[in-house]
Amino acid sequence: MTSAVRFQKVSRHFGSVRAVDGVDLDVASGEFFAMLGPSGSGKTTCLRLIAGFEQPTAGAIEIFGERADGVPPYRRNVNTVFQDYALFPHLNILDNVAYGLMVKGVGTAERHREADRALELVKLPGYGTRKPAQLSGGQRQRVALARALVNKPKVLLLDEPLGALDLKLREQMQEELKSLQRALGITFVFVTHDQGEALSMADRVAVFNNGGIVQQGTPQDIYRRPKTAFVADFVGSSNLLSPDLMALLGGDRRWASLRPEAVRLAGDGTEATVENVSFLGAATRLAVEMHGTKLHVMLPAGADVPGVGTRVRLAWNRQDIHYMDDAA
């Protein structure tokens, strides 16, 4: 498998700020790769390094085996869908989409035909004559996608493309993006701070924190076996169990994580007090207090829901306890 994008010890420092620090990364060709992390974790800078808007302070970047440092953005066969779409306000939709072909010298008739096809691909046929200001957020997002895809990029970079959309539209676009990526076979590198988005769409996820990658792996891997407390907390809203609590419960004296849905109410478990109950539709989430630690318990729909203040007993399977490297 050729790698589409490879980072070797890549750093990007802005003065004393280490935005990206010694990142190793390997995105396989045709893969849907998500870079997940809180704001300021370095994920967007990594994306800008691939696009060529930033140059690495140290390290090497390869795109399909070719050294990319020093190559300006307009000489890279990589296209970006920007967070706020960055559509050209003075051009109509068709000319926006055809822009990449126009600057490459493709004739008017041909580039308009290609642009029409790209607009059909993103389900906006017939919108060519409108101006970006006349479109809704979701439609602009699709135009930005078409404008990038019309160039048939080797790698498509998406910088929080769904951030500005409402929930319903976001879920719809997630599915569409995923099936588009499968159909076109283009490598997608997707930046997001939304763990649900990353887990549901990506083939592989890299979790960023403080300018570095904390963990890389499949969504299942990262969700079930978080390497650090940060990943457990950020990715799964997992319960963190301190070494002292683990010792009390008869386990190893180490930090561990326990997913809320792995915990169940049982007649013979550890005692806890219900502090809050949130109805989420498909499930009900309890906030409980157990030996001085706050935990979340996810009850499936249809289960009996205890009231606030009641004493309950909690149980879980031993294999659902996942020990971690650290608790940083």
Partner 1 sequence: MTALSVSHSGASILSRRNGFAGALSDSFWRHPKLLLLLMLTPPLLWLGIIYVGSLIALLMQSFFAIDDFSGVISYEPTLATYAQLLNGTNLDIILRTVLMAALVTIASALLAFPIAYYAARYAKGRWKAFFYLGVMLPLWSSYLVKVYAWKLILAKEGIVTWLFAKLNLTFVLDAVLSLPVIGGNSLSVSYLGTFLVFVYIWLPYMILPTQAALERVPGNLIEASADLGATPAQTFRTVLLPLALPGIVAGSIFTFSLTLGDYIIPQIIGSSRLFIGQAVYAQQGMAGNVPLAAAFSVVPIVIMGLYLTAAKRLGAFDAL
Question: For binding to partner 1 (CB under 8 A), which residues are involved?
Answer: 51-53, 72-74, 78-80, 82, 84, 86-90, 99-100, 102-104, 147-148, 151
Identify whether the C-beta of residue 6 lies closer than 8 Å to the C-beta of residue 69: no
Distance in Å, CB of 131 to partner 1, minimum: 9
The string over 55-92, giving b where at least 16 C-beta atoms fall within 10 Å of a residue's C-beta and e elsewhere, is ebeebebbbbeeebeeeeeeebebbbbbbebebeeeeb
As a whole number of angstroms, the distance between CA 43 and CA 21 comes to 11
Distance in Å, CB of 306 to partner 1, minimum: 28
As a whole number of angstroms, the distance between CA 153 and CA 204 comes to 20
For partner 1, the closer CB: 89 or 250: 89
Structure tokens given for 198: 């990353």
Distance in Å, CB of 220 to partner 1, minimum: 33
For partner 1, the closer CB: 99 or 255: 99
Distance in Å, CB of 150 to partner 1, minimum: 9
Q: Which residues contact 251 (CB under 8 A, 6 or more apart)?
A: 321
For partner 1, the closer CB: 100 or 226: 100
For partner 1, the closer CB: 133 or 183: 133
For partner 1, the closer CB: 77 or 218: 77
Q: Give the amino acid at 189.
A: V
Selection from 86, 83, 85, 51 nearest residue 192 by Cα: 83
For partner 1, the closer CB: 83 or 216: 83
For partner 1, the closer CB: 74 or 279: 74
Distance in Å, CB of 71 to partner 1, minimum: 12
Specify whether the backbone of 269 is left (phi greater than 0), alpha (psi in -120 to 50) or beta.
beta
Selection from 128, 31, 169, 149 nearest residue 79 by Cα: 149
Distance in Å, CB of 89 to partner 1, minimum: 6
Distance in Å, CB of 91 to partner 1, minimum: 8
Distance in Å, CB of 68 to partner 1, minimum: 14
For partner 1, the closer CB: 1 or 133: 133
